Amino acid sequence: MNEIRMLVLSAAFGNGHVRAAEAVIEAMSSKMPTAIITHLDFGEFLIRPFNSVMKNTYIEMIKYFPKLYGQFYYRTAKIDPDSLFQRFLNSLGHREFIRFINSYNPDVIICTYPTITGVLAQLRSKNILNVPLAAIVTDYTVHNQWIHQGVDLYIVGCQYVCEGFVDRGIERRRIRVTGIPVNPKFELELNRQKIIVKLGLNSNRLTILVMGGADGVLCGAKRTCNFLGNIETPVQILVVCGKDEKMYKYMVSVSNTANNPIRCFGYVDNIEEHMTAADLIVTKAGGLTVSEALTKGVPLLIYKPIPGQEEENANFIKQIGAGKISHTFAEFESTVDYLLNHPSELEKMSRAARKFTPRSSAQHAADTILTLQRNSGLIKKIM
């Protein structure tokens, strides 16, 4: 039997889509060590200046014009699949895509970004592409950019999303609720005391982890860290600044004068250890960050969630009892004060997170995708 070839496509518009892809790849590799798996950024198939402008515009918009981004998100949430705008999106990188797929000849294609899914679904519907197509939805909300009849399998994070897809015409048999795939390392039971020592922390203080995502886009990060660094309750703060060097330098200067200890980090690849040490996470509500925190059972506090999918993710966290939302700084201050003085509430939120989170999300997603591929046969049929 020939080795199975898998093509995984993500996009670097936020790091979550990439992390979901990597989680599934790791699970696939453990199940099928001989599988040939290629992971690509969809942007490689676009005109490079256009791709760069799109990425920079996305980051700048959510950093400085979040309300504008929210308007764009909600206005496109129910856009007709046959609209001129949707057809334009589905045409992006079309020819280059077909050439590459023909040359690579995959047995199954996996997407973690909606635009890519639309491009491939259109090719699938027109019988230009005859390879099973799986889409991994990376947020706890429903948006029409994900809705395409040419997709064979949808991997979703919760039943709410499943029902939303069904309401929009996707057959229930094509949807699997596995949880949003997270790297299996987040499910490992780490020795918390050893992690606390490794990170230079005090085991007698509550630990607050502040995260701004890979691009450092947490709203009000400077103000929140100044507040936490000088709050009367004895705490310690871990700040992960991602790739934002200016934020890192600023946080280092804050740590030098703060009453509470602050440990600053740039981009890290051991965030599961930081989460293990944390009693509370203050962060943006990206789908993967939320899923990783839920898997670790750490309560979340979302400050001024970015309108759009992150606002929907924040509402979901609040709904299941695993986190809080603060829409103003005064609300943030009072929420932090309440949580630090009511540790039983932190424990309650932690239990809610663990109760909700499906175990082995990446492994279940991989199993489901492999079943799709096997049921479709091993014959490669790019037309």
**pLDDT surpasses 90 at 24:** yes
Higher per-residue pLDDT: 319 or 144: 319
Could you tell me the pTM of the whole model? 0.87
pLDDT at 72: 63
Span 347-357, pLDDT tens digits: 999 999 999 88
Cβ distance 11 to 100 under 8 Å? no
Round to whole Å and give the CA distance between 293 and 350: 10
**Where do runs of H (alpha helix) occur along 32-113?**
48-64, 66-76, 84-91, 94-104
**pLDDT surpasses 60 at 157:** yes
> Right CATH number for 188-356 from 3.90.1150.10, 3.40.50.2000, 3.30.365.10, 3.40.190.10?
3.40.50.2000
**pLDDT surpasses 70 at 46:** no
Domain ranges of the chain: 5-179+360-376, 188-356
The highest-confidence range among 106-110, 124-128, 372-376, by mean pLDDT, is 106-110
Average pLDDT value for residue range 177-202: 95
CB count within 10 Å of CB 74 equals 14
Classify residue 49 as exposed, middle or buried by CB count within 10 Å of its CB (0-12, 13-18, 19+): exposed
Output DSSP code: residue 44: G
Buried b (16+ CB within 10 A) or exposed e, 175-191: bbbbbbbbbbbbbeeee
Span 84-119, pLDDT tens digits: 655 555 555 567 778 888 899 999 999 999 888 888
Instruction: Looking at the structure, give the CATH architecture of the domain made up of residues 5-179+360-376.
Output: 3-Layer(aba) Sandwich (3.40)
Cβ distance 365 to 178 under 8 Å? yes
pLDDT at 379: 38
Asked if the domains at 5-179+360-376 and 188-356 fall in one CATH topology, the answer is yes
**pLDDT surpasses 90 at 159:** yes
CB count within 10 Å of CB 120 equals 26
pLDDT at 185: 94
Cβ distance 26 to 362 under 8 Å? yes
